[in-house]
Structure 1
Amino acid sequence: MNRIAILLLFAVETTVGTASAQDSTTELGSCLQKPHTERLACLDKLTRTVAPHQRQPSDDEWIVSQTTSPIDYSPIATATTSSRSGTAESAMQMSIRCRGGRTELVLTGPGISREGGAGAISYRINNNAAVQVAAGSPASGPGIAFTGDIVRLLQSLPDSGDFIVQLSSRGGGAPDGTFSLAGLDAARTKMAAACKWPRAIATPNR
């Protein structure tokens, strides 16, 4: 098996499921039986039909960035995670933002905006009952913001499991995303210090 075929086989096995990988491997074997010119065309066609890589969850889904305001030197912090459904390009992002002592929970992604008609956010933790809140505009930047007592909501989230959100809009679309809560506790601790949250008074949901 030549170098191109080996690389292609590796790509097939790492980007598709087991059953699909077996089918693609069979097609690869068929390509290798063809004459040189036809073989190259067959291999090129096979690479174009391999499914796009799906984003896989890691043990720690949160990326935290911290800096200070150049105006008053107050802390600015952001903790961001991405939904684990869909490709990296189509994933929804959820960010905890702290600026000027204000904490926000914001959703961003393709087509997500107040101007786009998003009117409400429904969320649930694991298999718990769904809760609906109005969608607001973030203090700055794109996306939509959760409304209500954001600090209390964030303090109530467990450090594992799933946080599922669904948006409703006047246009009838309902984008949704599933976020892993793995690693939230470490990110939450940094955000709490930056934004000077009060001590948690809610018991985390499970």
Structure 2
Amino acid sequence: MALECVSGVALAQGGDDPMAALRSCAALEPAARLECLDRLSRSIGPTETPARGSDNWVVSQMSSPVNYAPIVTATTHARGGSGNALTQLSIACRAGRTELIVSGSGLPGAATEFTATYRVDDGQPRHLPAVSLATGSAAALKGDIVQLLSSLPDDGDLDIRLLPRPGAVLEGRFSLAGLKPVREKIAAACRWPSAVRQANP
């Protein structure tokens, strides 16, 4: 909460000037600076109008205000759900890192660790760790996310379950329709080895 307040003040001091906001962030302590820069990158409007991939994914692309590196985020919503379900799945490339994030109103607060499983259609569930983000309403899956995303089919359903310690299980089912062009955008932005090989045959 303290970091959020400090970074919020820095962004307010920058007003509508991204460079002024960037200078305000740079003056903060290291931990607060990272939080501030992350919030700044999210607050700046995308360079392209968000587009839908196969009517299932909403894709936004922008450049980092720090080093102009590409930031790509693709988001889809769960099929159905309840008040305690995972409702949104996001794939992102930020600062050269590939992230897989799930969110929902039923997630516990920040600093929570989870045991996570994912399954494609009727396949065997696979386990991996996950941890809540600073917002408290989202969790990032950990492990080899590039390998995970590369292994997913271009259609079908992805079931994700999170078991917080302690807490109740949260589940979400997400359609993978339209994943291929989304994955290609993320791969190019984060320079996955496969994307680099295709660009430099």
Give the structure-2-normalised TM-score.
Answer: 0.63
Q: 1:74 aligns with which of 69, 76, 101?
A: 69
Cα pair 2:77 2:87 within 8 Å, conserved:
yes
Partner deviation per Cα, 1:18-49 (whole Å, 9 max, x = no partner)? xxxxxxxxxxxxxxxxxxxxxxxxxxxxxxxx
RMSD: 2.7
Q: Summarize the alignment of residues 24-173 of structure 1 with structure 2, pairs less than 5 Å apart.
A: 60-86=55-81, 92-113=87-108, 115=110, 117-138=112-133, 142-173=137-168
TM-score by length of structure 1 reads 0.62
Matched residue, 2:191: 196
Aligned-residue identity in percent:
46
Contact 1:106 1:138 in 2 (8 A): no
The answer (yes or no) to whether the contact 1:76–1:98 under 8 Å persists in 2 is: yes
* Corresponding residue SS for 1:110: coil
**Residue type matched to 2:194 in 1?**
R
What is aligned with 2:182?
A: 187
Residues of 2 paired with 1:170 and 1:126: CA distance? Answer: 26
Structure 1: gaps (5+ residues): 1-57, 201-206
Q: Is the 8 A contact 2:105 2:137 kept in 1?
A: no
Q: Which SS does the other structure have where 2:193 is aligned?
A: coil
Post-superposition offset of 1:110: 0.4
Equivalents in 2 of 1:115, 1:188: separation in Å? 28
The question of whether the paired residues in 1 share the 8 Å contact of 2:108 and 2:137 is answered with yes
Q: Report what 1:24 is aligned to.
A: none
More strand by percentage: 2
Cα distance change on mapping 1:196 and 1:113 into 2, 3 Å: farther
Structure 2: tracts of 5 or more residues without a match: 1-52, 196-201
Partner of 2:198: none
Larger Rg: 1
Q: Is the 8 A contact 1:79 1:187 kept in 2?
A: yes
Per the TM alignment, residue 77 of structure 1 is displaced from its structure 2 partner at its CA by 0.8
Q: Tell me, in whole angstroms, the C-alpha distance in 2 between the residues paired with 1:88 and 1:190.
A: 32
Q: Which amino acid aligns with 1:70?
A: P
The aligned length equals 143
* Cα distance in 2 between the residues matched to 1:89 and 1:173: 9
Cα distance in 1 for partners of 2:85, 2:128 equals 24
Deviations 1:147-175 (A, max 9, x none): 11001100110011010011112233111
Letter of the 1:126 counterpart: D
C-alpha displacement of 1:97: 1.3
